[in-house]
Amino acid sequence: MAYVDGFLIPVPDARKEDYRAHEEKWWPFFRDRGATGLAICWGDDVPPGERTDFRRAVALEDGETVVFAWMTWPDRETRDKAFAAMMQDGMEMPEMPFDGKRMVFGGFVPILALGQALG
C-alpha cells in the first residue's frame, strides 16, 4: 500500500529559488531508494484561521511563505529503508534554505485517493 510523507515548511521569500534547488538536488537520492513522487507547493492562498492554520503550525514570520510538500512511496518499509540509508551513509545536510526546527512533518497511510492524488 502507498505511503506518503507530508511536510509544512517555512521558507524565506528571498530563498524561494534556493529552496527549490535544494529539493531538486535531494530528489535523486530518494528516487533511487524507491520514492515514487515529490510535490513542492509554494503557498499562494494561505489564510489565517480562527484557531489554527498553516501559518501558526510553522510559526511563520514576516517575509516567509509556507511550503506544503509531500513525497510518495510504494510502502512504509521502502521509506524507512531510504531514511535509514540516509542516516547510515552519514549524509551531510548542507545549510538548509529554511528553519528546519519549525518544519512540521509526518508519515501517512492513504485511506482514499481519487484521480491522480498519488501518482
| 32-37: average pLDDT | 96
Q: Does the residue 119 lie in any domain?
A: no
Q: Does the residue 76 lie in any domain?
A: yes
- Residue 79 is predicted with a pLDDT of 97
∠ at Cα 60 (4, 26), nearest 5°? 40
- Is residue 99 a contact partner of residue 10, using CB atoms and an 8 Å limit? yes
Count of CA atoms in the C-beta half-sphere (13 A) of 80: 4
Q: Does the residue 60 lie in any domain?
A: yes
**Alpha carbon separation from 87 to 8, 16, 94 (Å, rounded):** 22, 27, 14
- Residue 54 is predicted with a pLDDT of 98
pTM of the model: 0.91
- The CATH number linked to 11 is 3.30.70.100
Q: Does the residue 116 lie in any domain?
A: no
| 30-55: average pLDDT | 97
Q: Does the residue 117 lie in any domain?
A: no
- Residue 91 is predicted with a pLDDT of 62
| pLDDT 10s digits, 49-106 | 999 999 999 999 999 999 999 999 999 999 999 999 888 865 666 688 999 999 999 9
Q: Does the residue 29 lie in any domain?
A: yes
* Overall number of domains in the chain: 1
What is the extent of the structural domain holding 17?
3-108
Of 96, 71, 67, whose CA–CA distance to 83 is shortest?
A: 71
67 by DSSP, 3-state: which?
strand
